[in-house]
Chains A and B, each alone.
Chain A
Amino acid sequence: MSIMRSVERRMTRRRGAPYVIVDGCIECGMCERVCPYDAVFMANDLEYVVDGAKCPGCRRCLDPCPVGAIVPMDDPRATGVRGSNRPFLFAAWQQEPDQPDMSQHHPVTPGST
């Protein structure tokens, strides 16, 4: 496998959905302050955006956002991604085709392992 191929696979398969900033953001900057991966920054001194290529989808920014304006790319609300964030979308990201449905967690019970 070429290095490029390897990098491409790394970038598309080892991460959750990158986050995007949608309409309604109040530019409070909380998401930038809490991101450990330097994925959030202010573009053109005007609006915060998420660099999708850097965002591993850890969801650390989700709870702090006071207005719910930062959402994962695979969330229906991501269609409202604002214009300033569009150049930074990580188009190469895709879900694994064989991802299981994680909506039903297997309960962990003592002695079950």
Chain B
Amino acid sequence: MKKLMTTDDLARDERFRRTPVPLDFLMAEEVTVEQVEETMLMLLGNDEMRQTLEQQSAGGGGPNIFRRVRPEEDDAPVFIKSQMHGIFMGEMQALEAAGRSAWDFTDDDELPWKFQFDMARQCWDETRHVETYSALLDHVGCDIGEFAENLFLFEFGCSDDPAERVVGVNRCLEGLALDVFNDTIRFGRSADDDTIWKSVDYVSADEVTHVRFGQVWSKALTADDPERRAKIVNFQRKVDRAFSLGGLRGAYDGANTEQFLPLAIEFRKLAGFTDQDIADVAGAAPKVKGRR
């Protein structure tokens, strides 16, 4: 059976659409507001969202994609659909990435059996998450393919080093999921939509475990190898920067209620993040020039 699955090999039917991310943006040390807006529209947007943002733009001040969207706002329906669709695609890629991690290292005698066990457990969880978010897409009235899929999450989980793999997939991809879920729960609660917030809350409990897998295994597998550890930390820094989405993600303050997608500090601490780990993620974001 094939070991590596590249993004071209991922099974998608005709409903799915893909879009690349402008790459300068994800890895840059400094980005402009315009780059961030353009990229986020490409990542998250569809025609409906573009029209909404253009209308906001016409009111002066440009489209404010940095703000937290509230249920009572006119554009809330399209934003929650976009968010659900993004999460659904993320769950698909997390399932595929965890499946790879469970299978790719079966011949590695250096790895304890517990590693495969944890990855298999994650696969089991992710399949349920895909089902859950498929139902939540129906709940918010969104069809698969209404927004484009981008594959950068999966691309950061392709390393053939298991320690680097769990950093990409578990610590960073699933860590980003915690932040998004935290945001979605907050939206569901303020919308008084029990289906959204309770479903996402259930899923979050699994995600905390998955992130913990990344924290624990990346450290355990490199504990006696400082050189390998340094390489992993360097990679981790890059992925943290990429997943900061161009510094879009608010002030990285868990108490922040105004900006988009701040770090879910409580969830991350449950997953084993130390204050230093959280500061590392917060500090990885690029500088955003011209932020309003």
Where the two chains meet, the residues of A that have a C-beta atom closer than 8 Å to any C-beta of B are 1, 3, 6, 9-11, 13-16, 30, 33-34, 36-38, 56-60, 63-64, 96, 98-100, 102, 105-110, 113
Contact = CB atoms under 8 A, between A and B. Distances in A.
B155 interface: yes
A113 B238 CA distance: 36
19 contacts: A1-B109, A9-B107, A10-B160, A13-B107, A15-B158, A16-B158, A33-B24, A34-B26, A36-B168, A36-B235, A36-B242, A57-B4, A58-B7, A98-B2, A102-B2, A105-B9, A105-B12, A108-B11, A108-B12
What secondary structure prevails in chain A residues at the interface with B? loop
Report which residue of A10, A64, A113 has the largest number of chain B beta carbons within 10 angstroms of its beta carbon. A10
Given A9-B107, A10-B108, A15 B160 contact: yes
B11 A30 contact: no
Nearest to A100: B2
A37 B12 CA distance: 26
B152 interface: yes
Contacts, number: 102
Given A34-B27, A102-B9, A3 B160 contact: no
Contacts of A57: 4, 6, 158
Given A96-B3, A99-B2, 5 more contacts: A30-B24, A64-B23, A98-B2, A102-B2, A102-B8
Contacts of A98: 1-2
Contacts of B5: 16
Interface in B145-180: 152, 154-156, 158-161, 168
B23 A14 contact: no
A14 B11 contact: no
B75 interface: no
Contact of B238 (A9, A36, A96): A36
A53 B190 CA distance: 50
Contacts of A110: 134
Interface residues of B, number: 41
A59 to B, nearest CB: 5
B291 to A, nearest CB: 22
B105 interface: yes
B162 to A, nearest CB: 9
A58 B6 contact: yes
Interface in B185-239: 234-235, 238-239
Contacts of A9: 107-108
Contacts of A30: 23-24
Report which residue of A36, A57, A99, A105 has the largest number of chain B beta carbons within 10 angstroms of its beta carbon. A36
B160 A6 contact: no
Contacts of A15: 3-4, 158, 160
B104 interface: yes
Nearest to B157: A58
